[in-house]
Amino acid sequence: MGKTGTGSNKSQGNQNEQKKLQASDGSKRKKTVKRNSQANKENIPEYVPRTNGPKRKREPLQPTSNISDHYPKKKRVVSTQRECYSMSKRPLGHCLIINNFNFEGTSLGNRRGTDKDKDDLTRVFQNMFFKVEVRDDLQASDMLTVIKEFAERDHSQMDAFVCCILSHGKKGSVLGTDGIPVPISELTQLFAECRTLVKKPKIFFIQACQDNEAQQGVLIADGLVKTTEEGTFEQGSHTAASHSVHKDADFLIGIATVESYKSFRHVKDGSIFIQELCKQLESGCRRKEDIHSILTKVNNIVSSKILQGSKQMPEVRYTLTKTLVLPMQ
C-alpha cells in the first residue's frame, strides 16, 4: 500500500513538472511572436544567425564629394551669339563723302589737310564693299540737294548707308562753303524717312569743331599723359552738334569732339579724328570687331593726345538696335 502510493505520487509530480515546462515554453513562444510582430511594425530586421560562408570584404569609405548626385543638375547653357545686322549684300551700300575745302569769300579759312581725310575714307570704305561717291566744295543748298538725292535712292539691294561730312560747322549744324549752316537734324531726318533703309544702319561721321573752347588736360596720379603730336595743326571752326542725332532707330553718328570744344586737323596729314578712325576701322573690321568697340578705341587714343597744349575728346551717339560688324576685304 505504501509503495503504490509513493509511485503514484512520483508520476503525478512528473506530470506536474511537464505541464510547467510546457507552460513556460508556450509563454516564451508568445513573447517571441510578440517581439517579431513588433519588429515588423517598426521595420526592424529579424536576427539572422551567422553562417559559415566566406566573409564579405568591407568597401573603403568614400568622401561624399565624389559620389554623384542621383538626380544630376542640368548645366546652364549661356548663348554667346550676337544678333547682328546683315552685311551680306554687294555692294554693301552707298558711302557719300562731302569734302568742303574752299571757304574763300567767307570769314572762314580753307580746310588744309581735308583731302588726306577724303582719300583715306575712300580707300577704307571701298575695302568694306561700299560704293563711294565724293562731292567736293558744296554750298549749303547743294549739300541739302545731294543728301536728298541719296535719301531718295533705292537701297533695297543694300544693307547699310554711310555719310562722311568734312567741313566747318557751328552748334547744331555743318557749314556749306558759302558759310551757311545746314542743321544736322535735317540731314538725318531725310534718311529716317527712307523706306528702303528701314531697320538698316545709317552711319554718319562728322569732322568739325563743336565750338571755340580749347579742352584742357586733367592731372592724373602719375602726371599728364605723355602722348604728343608735333607739326602744324589747325582748329576747326564752331560746331557740328552731336545732340542732333535723330531719335529714330538704327542711326550712328561719330563726331570729332564733344560739344563746346575744338577739334584739330593737320595741314598735311589730315584730322586727328578721321585718321584714327580709318586706322581702327581697317584693323578692327579685319578682326570682326563691332563698331562700338572700334569707336571706343578711337575715343581712347584721340583723347590721350596733347594738341597745341589742348585735348580732344570725340563723341559717339547711336540708336543701333543690333550689333554692327562691318566686313573688310
Active site residues: 168, 209
Compute, in degrees rounded to 10, the torsion defined by CA atoms 204, 207, 209, 210: 10
CA 101 to chain centre: 38
Helix axes 140-151, 184-192, angle to 10 degrees: 20
Q: 116, 273 in Cβ contact below 8 A?
A: no
Handedness of CA 77, 78, 82, 83 (dihedral sign): positive
Query: In this structure, which amino acid lies at residue 184?
Result: I
CB-based burial label for 219 (10 Å; 0-12, 13-18, 19+)? exposed
Q: 273, 312 in Cβ contact below 8 A?
A: yes
What nine digits make up the cell of 262?
575744338
